[in-house]
Chain A
């Protein structure tokens, strides 16, 4: 093994300077990110407004036969300051002699523009709009947006004909260009200065340099994040939203859903944390990379892949927990809400009840897994056991069956009317039990039975492997010393099982704590969330309540609990000590 790369620790002032420089870079990313974000928000707002205008244009175009449409178009243009003009292009249709009349401009300013020229403003709008008119079919999308070369925004909506199946016209509007602005660049200098200051002051604190660096760089990013939107700017030229139509509501949801704010904050915080933590190490990594890059070729692809598809989404998820549905930064409000109030307004279960249940669930499950697993392994490991291999093959069946199939199968076994468990009870003269009904206890029992069945083979296989690796000489020596069976188990078997069993128990605990499939598919958390564990509650918050930020806060808390558990048990059992070998 090549020797460690000897590197002197960098002097304190160099860390302060690096912190300043890196924060300046982060500040730049922040400014440009904020600018991009604002322009995206403005575009979204403009699009929602534009659709409202297009909606009005559609209504105006529909009145063309009654002669009111010109007045309606004029009022649209009067009401909306930021539109250039509204227009409608009508398909002429086929007259009674079967002669096509071609496209007809109902309204446009300047009035001399023909239909083809009008729609040619934007290639996509023109192609799709013309096609819609030609084949008289509604578009795959309900509205068309096009950025015109001069910065104006074109929106067009196909107008359905009276039958509702075809298209009779394309109506829309052209919106003027708006000015976009970004936070001023001096914020970068302020952030860098703040970083140097914090890193310098932090040096005096009785904390590890890493912690100080990480905390101060993260703090600087947060300050920048909070400060940037408050900085003077012209602000987006707002488009009055008429509202009322389903299409506009849909677009508004789309505009809100595509918000990049959480992404940016998450990425920046991840970068800040990583930079702070790795301020020392990065210097070492770069030195090592120059000296011997081979190890990095081997780990590089895996690190890159997990970084992009696990760590970045994770950081973004953490960022989401600080942001509400409309993209506003809400600080730790979601965490406070998770911890202090009931998540589902129709239910009485709160976080700490669910946490207690999750802990109980995990403890009972892992207890049974280890108990059954180890017990069966000891029996299977008996000398001279016949059909050992056969039993082993049968007993690991639950591990081989896909867990979602297991869960759904057990749901059927517990079915009140047709389930075999109730059929057995009936055969014994007992009343049927509504297992997955109103009793939290029977629901919990059903979940538990499923998960115990599912999980004991893993522990059994691990125990069996560890038992077989214990040299028989140890037992022979114990026999000579006159040890009883129990003494042999306690003083020989158990201590030698520990190295294999502890990592398995930690892993099993994490898996059971997040045993989503079983709870979600068997009891579904019912009745009234009383058998929900934390992870299913978070999923409910996300999918049913549609509260992304709250679900993210929930998930971050789950992660924190698991991390704490692992750190504590790891310190006690040294289960992952192979890291440092």
Chain B
């Protein structure tokens, strides 16, 4: 069933042969979408809970769960949901910006300069991907505590953005490697400085890869809950994942609230994902495909 690349010539198959892939793709797509549809059903089932049926549409659609999730306030009247959404947005946004700035410059140096320590740096970044999170959790907690950054967004931003740097650096370096060096060489002849080349030539050319790595940084920060759960103790300081996890905690399980808040939390990040989606292949694999 291995086919040639879809740019190749050939006669279009007709009849059942053209239908064959769809017999496979339609069921697979349905299985893929089913859990998502089921979350929507749960969220729309109101706060009383869904009935046990496999059909992914609620019997009595209601927006009660959304209202309950979105209008939550604490004892002081603080609009918790708004605060938590804002926390998540600020933390993820700042993480992305900080992480990408540091990763871009590092990746550029790794891709374009030969300097002692380059290999050690690259391998060190690779090794961080193998560090089990639990090993660094305890020292990080103490460090953040000593800095007085528990229950603050700054603490999460610092930790998230540094955790994102190694993966982003590797991905971006792979992409920078594929850009022809001749462009830079002619720019140097024209009298451009390294910084000018980096900012005016390399960065614009790498927009797809930067978009993809930015997406991953954003997703990682938006979805993280173990560190957030450890660092944050006040409800008003929570990010959305901590709140969502708490809806289905050990004592109190509220699946409809979980589903409603999950949908609200998933929509922005899925929108971003699909906005960047067409660059996924090029941005991620450019370095690897080059071989």
- Closest chain B residue, CB of each to CB of A471: B5
- Bound-state CA distance A306–B162 (Å) is 5
Residues of B contacting A562 in the complex (Cβ-Cβ under 8 angstroms): 130
Contact B270 A400 (CB under 8 A): yes
Cβ of B121 to closest chain A Cβ, rounded Å: 6
- Bound-state CA distance A453–B139 (Å) is 34
Within 8 A of A (CB), among B94-129: 102-103, 105-106, 108-110, 112-129
| A: contact size bracket | 35 or more
A-B pairs, 8 with minimum CB distance? A465-B281, A489-B2, A298-B109, A302-B106, A472-B8, A555-B135, A499-B291, A317-B135
Scoring A residues 263 to 304 as 1 if CB is less than 8 Å from chain B, else 0, what string do you get? 100100000000000100100110110001011101101110
Between A and B, 9 residue pairs with Cβ closer than 8 Å are: A285-B116, A306-B166, A310-B131, A310-B163, A381-B5, A385-B6, A400-B270, A402-B266, A423-B52
- Bound-state CA distance A285–B119 (Å) is 12
Contact B38 A409 (CB under 8 A): yes
Contact B35 A406 (CB under 8 A): yes
B222 on interface, CB distance cutoff 8 Å: yes
B36 on interface, CB distance cutoff 8 Å: yes
Known: A296-B115, A302-B103, A382-B3. A404 touches B54 (CB 8 A): no
- Closest chain A residue, CB of each to CB of B159: A309
A451 on interface, CB distance cutoff 8 Å: no
Known: A317-B139, A499-B288, A500-B289. A396 touches B39 (CB 8 A): no
Query: How many A-B contacts at CB < 8 Å in the complex?
Result: 323
Question: Which stretch (A40-48, A136-144, A166-174, A503-511) binds chain B?
Answer: A503-511
Contact A1 B112 (CB under 8 A): yes
- Bound-state CA distance A453–B269 (Å) is 18
- Bound-state CA distance A399–B215 (Å) is 12
- Closest chain A residue, CB of each to CB of B282: A465
Cβ of A258 to closest chain B Cβ, rounded Å: 8
Residues of A contacting B50 in the complex (Cβ-Cβ under 8 angstroms): 418
Cβ of B8 to closest chain A Cβ, rounded Å: 4
B32 on interface, CB distance cutoff 8 Å: yes
Question: Which stretch (B59-67, B71-79, B240-248) binds chain A?
Answer: B240-248
Scoring A residues 515 to 547 as 1 if CB is less than 8 Å from chain B, else 0, what string do you get? 010000000000000000001001100100000
B186 on interface, CB distance cutoff 8 Å: no
Q: Interface on B for A, CB 8 Å cutoff?
A: 1-10, 12-13, 18, 21-22, 24-25, 28-29, 31-33, 35-36, 38-39, 42, 49-54, 56, 102-103, 105-106, 108-110, 112-140, 142-143, 158-159, 161-163, 165-166, 169, 173-174, 177, 181, 194, 198, 219, 222-223, 225-226, 241, 244-245, 248, 255, 258-259, 262, 265-266, 269-270, 273-274, 277, 280-282, 284-285, 287-291
- Bound-state CA distance A72–B282 (Å) is 79
Cβ of A455 to closest chain B Cβ, rounded Å: 12
Residues of B contacting A207 in the complex (Cβ-Cβ under 8 angstroms): none
- Bound-state CA distance A563–B194 (Å) is 36
A92 on interface, CB distance cutoff 8 Å: no
Contact B162 A309 (CB under 8 A): yes
Cβ of A472 to closest chain B Cβ, rounded Å: 4
- Bound-state CA distance A401–B272 (Å) is 11
Contact B138 A383 (CB under 8 A): no
Within 8 A of B (CB), among A406-428: 406, 408-413, 417-424, 427
Cβ of A425 to closest chain B Cβ, rounded Å: 9
- Bound-state CA distance A384–B1 (Å) is 14
- Closest chain A residue, CB of each to CB of B138: A548
Known: A400-B273, A405-B265, A413-B35. A516 touches B133 (CB 8 A): yes
Contact A395 B28 (CB under 8 A): yes
Contact A313 B140 (CB under 8 A): yes
Residues of A contacting B5 in the complex (Cβ-Cβ under 8 angstroms): 381, 383, 467-468, 470-472, 475
Residues of B contacting A165 in the complex (Cβ-Cβ under 8 angstroms): none
Known: A402-B219, A489-B2. A383 touches B135 (CB 8 A): no
- Bound-state CA distance A563–B33 (Å) is 36
- Closest chain A residue, CB of each to CB of B143: A313
**A514 in complex: contacting residue of B113, B133, B219, CB < 8 Å:** B133
- Bound-state CA distance A568–B166 (Å) is 21
Residues of B contacting A386 in the complex (Cβ-Cβ under 8 angstroms): 18, 22
A88 on interface, CB distance cutoff 8 Å: no
A558 on interface, CB distance cutoff 8 Å: yes
Known: A288-B116, A301-B102, A309-B158. A397 touches B32 (CB 8 A): yes
Known: A301-B105, A310-B136, A535-B134. A288 touches B245 (CB 8 A): no
